[in-house]
Homo-oligomer: A and B are copies of this chain.
Amino acid sequence: MKKDVFRYNSCPAYRSMAILGSKWKPIIIYMLRERKARFGQLHAAIGTISKKVLTDMLKELETDGVLLREEFKELPPRVEYSLTEKGSTLVPIIVQLARWDNMHYESLTTTVS
């Protein structure tokens, strides 16, 4: 369930990498940088992620204290995800990573300001 790949002593940044070092987590966090979003919105926005994997990622991010899950007991159900303060501190790092991409490879459709 946890990223055992990044384990003690392997890397001085293993905890941040345990959070960012997966295929979908950076973009999930980045999407929540300004406003909360519902499960379905995230699923549609990311497009190619499966619901199972999205669920898994959201759970892990919540466990890591990076995001908050609000469940409204309605019908149909509604669940909103938002970044915690801790999660917000990851945004500039993600921006830097994306910027590195843009600097070292060309022509990305997605631009990070």
Q: Which residues of chain B come closer than 8 Å to A110, judged between CB atoms?
A: 9, 12
- Interface hits, A13-33 → B, CB 8 Å: 13-17, 20-24, 26-27, 30
Distance in Å: Cβ of A4 to nearest Cβ of chain B:
9
Contact with B along A23-53 (1 / 0, CB 8 A): 1101100100000000000000001100000
> Contact at B17–A5, with CB atoms within 8 Å?
no
- Chain B residues with CB under 8 Å of A98's CB are 12-13, 16
Q: How far is the CB of A24 from chain B (nearest CB, A)?
A: 7
A107 contacts chain B at the CB level, 8 A cutoff = no
Shortest A80–chain B CB gap in Å is: 22
Mark out the residues of chain A between 83 and 113 whose CB falls within 8 Å of any chain B CB in the assembled complex.
86, 89-90, 93-94, 96-98, 100-101, 103-105, 108, 110, 112
Residue ranges of A at the interface with B (Cβ–Cβ < 8 Å): 5-7, 9-17, 20-24, 26-27, 30, 47-48, 86, 89-90, 93-94, 96-98, 100-101, 103-105, 108, 110, 112
